[in-house]
Amino acid sequence: MNRSELVAALSERAEVPRKDADAVLAAFADTVGDTVAEGSEKITIPGFLTFERTHRAARTARNPQTGDPIEVPAGYSVKVSAGSKLKEAAKGK
């Protein structure tokens, strides 16, 4: 499902115009992005998803072509965890 299909499904299910559904989806994405960028807290949608910024330590990796060691600097990543209701839906229950 791409973004336009998601907007259409949200619009139909919530019985709102597509323009409004698209605005809500955009606002949700912006809010999640801003909160993760700050890293001060995680976002939890109970039973569905959790978004959290995580720290990755510096490490030494290897170039797969040459085998030479490469220093990978410390940085940040995003952890997204599925909630119980989403896991049950994936099982087809």
pLDDT in tens, 19-56: 999 999 999 999 999 999 998 899 999 999 999 999 99
Q: Which residues contact 4 (CB under 8 A, 6 or more apart)?
A: none
pLDDT for 44-90, tens place per residue? 999 999 999 999 999 999 999 999 999 999 999 999 999 999 999 99
Give the pair of three-digit tokens for residue 10.
Answer: 């949200």
Q: Using CB atoms within 10 A of its CB, is residue 21 exposed (0-12), middle (13-18) or buried (19+)?
A: buried
